[in-house]
Amino acid sequence: MSWITESNRLKHFLYAIPCAFLLTVLFVGGLACGMEFKDRAYGGKWDWLDLLATILGGVLGQMLQILLIYALKCVS
């Protein structure tokens, strides 16, 4: 699991969590593709592991959102 500590993948993961928590994992997928497109447009390369780290953060954020909604539903 050392691939996530390379480059700035941990930032991709961490910044995706609140985006998915407030919106959805589909939004995070768009963000991930947009970030990789920007990297490629400015002379970098498309990094599938960056995209994967972003999506994994989005999945975690979406799960936290679902847990919050479920908890609020159980309280009321």
Q: 18 or 6, which is more confident?
A: 18
What is the rounded CA–CA span in Å between residue 48 and residue 12? 12
Instruction: State the pLDDT confidence band at 58, using cuts at 50, 70 and 90.
Output: very high
For helices 48-75 and 9-22, what crossing angle results, to 10°? Answer: 30
> Which residue range(s) make up the domain with 15?
2-75
Is the pLDDT at 49 greater than 80? The verdict is: yes
Please report the pLDDT score of residue 66 as a whole number.
97
Question: pLDDT tens-digit profile of 11-39?
Answer: 999 999 999 999 999 999 999 999 999 99
- Number of domains composing the chain: 1
Question: Is 0.85 topped by the overall pTM?
Answer: yes
